[in-house]
Amino acid sequence: MITLTQRLLFVLSFISCMAMSMSMRHNTPIPPTTARLTDRFPRLVFDGAFSDLFGSQNIKKTSNGSQVSLMLDKTSGSGFKSNDAYYYGFFSAAIKLPMDYSAGVVVAFYMSNSEAYPHNHDEIDFELLGHEKRKEWALQTNVYGDGSTGIGREEKFFLWFDPTADFHEYSLIWNQHHIVFLVDNLPVREVNHSVAMARAYPSKPMSIYSTIWDGSQWATHGGKKPVNYKFGPFVASFKNFLVAGCAWNQTKAASSCTRSGQSGSLALDPIEGDEFVKLSAEQQRGMEWVRSKFMFYSYCNDLSRFPVLPPECKEGKH
């Protein structure tokens, strides 16, 4: 049952979203400065680190393999996958999104192990959702652990820049302490490895994926605006691949990724340093800036979907 108050709240949040997206068109806000984590790792080229996943005819490598474009046309989307799986680390790509009308188009940069663990997979997602108003792409983030697909832990954001005009960095910290989603080095979401998250915290090696696909069913206004191929093909470009993780391999795992004498379950964090273990005060302020101005959906505020909110929603601010 939806109460009158909930209805009113919904209408109010809708109006504030509209106002926010209208004001965004007129000025580009300047985000707070945070540590440039993406400067600390070497850039990889495609070959050696990644391989085509599907739609090879729609994948183009340029600049000597340091840049890759993925295309969606009437025949197919496309995607690539890391050659290795990783257990914890820092993972990043700079992405430039398709210009023009892009409703229904989804560009994803994510980690998953659904192929290795079809029934209890883990996943950490950046999903960029197209829009009929060109540059107004939305960013959706999500986390699944141990097959917890019954609970979608989505959070959605508007971006404070035009993601189709230039490349922007989308990065993930994933370690035993927390998962942090960063956009241009600004944390937008933190998921602590808390007791409340329990098995929903991703805790098995995952591969890195990037894909472009037709999300007509749900991506834009809940599916009301499907992909219109008149505006295609849709091209997303990727570069600045950063992969600083513990490469996981049944035979190498024991020595390179875990404390000696312990079995596969206790991985070492491949990246040391305070900024990876805990958000600094500056990173906290940056995250609050993004969340207060640009977050327009958090599952932790969705009482119509979760009459009893997932336990981790009691921690932190949403």
DSSP string, the chain: ---HHHHHHHHHHHHHHHHHHHHHHH--PPPPP---GGGGSPPBPHHHHEEEEE-GGGEEEEGGGTEEEEEE-SS--EEEEEEEEEEEEEEEEEEEPPPS--TTEEEEEEEE-TTT-TTS--EEEEEEE--TTTT--EEEEEEE-TT-TTS---EEEE-SS-TTTS-EEEEEEESSSEEEEEETTEEEEEEE--TTTGGGS--S-EEEEEEEEE-TTTTTGGGTS---GGG--EEEEEEEEEEEEEEE-TTTHHHHTB-TT--TTSBPPSS-SHHHHS--HHHHHHHHHHHHHHEEEEGGG-TTT-SS--GGGGSS--
Neighbours of 119 (CB within 10 A): 7
One of 155, 190, 214, 269 touching ligand NAG (CB under 6 A)? 190
Q: Binding of ligand NAG at residue 43 (CB under 6 A)? A: no
Residue choice 43, 252, 259, 305 for contact with ligand NAG (CB under 6 A) = 252
Contact at 8 Å (CB) between 145 and 122? Answer: yes
Q: Which is nearer to ligand NAG, 30 or 281 (CB)?
A: 281
Contact call for residue 316 and ligand NAG (CB under 6 A): yes
> Residue 199, interface with ligand NAG (CB under 6 A)?
no
Which residue's CB atom is positioned nearest to ligand NAG?
A: 316
**What is the x/- site pattern for ligand NAG, positions 149-188, by CB under 6 A?**
----------------------------------------
Q: Please pick, from the candidates 64, 217, 260, 265, the single residue that binds ligand NAG as defined by CB under 6 A.
A: 64
Contact between 217 and ligand NAG by CB under 6 A: the answer reads no
Residue 284 Rama label (left phi>0; alpha psi -120 to 50; beta) = alpha
Which of these is catalytic: 115, 123, 155, 312?
Answer: 123
Q: How far is the CB of 251 from ligand NAG (least distance, A)?
A: 4
Q: Is 265 in the site for ligand NAG (CB under 6 A)?
A: no
Interacting span for ligand NAG (CB under 6 A) from 36-44, 74-82, 214-222, 244-252: 244-252
- Determine, following the binding rule CB under 6 A, whether residue 311 of this chain makes contact with ligand NAG: no
Judged by CB under 6 A, the residue of 52, 132, 282, 315 near ligand NAG is 315
Residue of 123, 125, 82, 96 lying closest to 244 (CA atoms) = 82
79 bridge partner residues: 54, 211
State which of residues 3, 249, 262, 304 lies at the interface with ligand NAG (CB under 6 A): 249
Q: Given the residues 127, 136, 155, 190, select the one marked as catalytic.
A: 127
User: Catalytic site residue 275?
Assistant: no
Q: Which stretch binds ligand NAG (CB under 6 A): 132-140, 157-165, 245-253, 256-264?
A: 245-253
Catalytic site includes residue 155: no
Among 5, 217, 251, 263, binds ligand NAG (CB under 6 A): 251
Nearer to ligand NAG, 72 or 188 (CB): 188
Positions touching ligand NAG (CB under 6 A) are 45, 64, 190, 192, 249, 251-252, 315-316
Which are the catalytic amino acids?
Answer: 123, 127
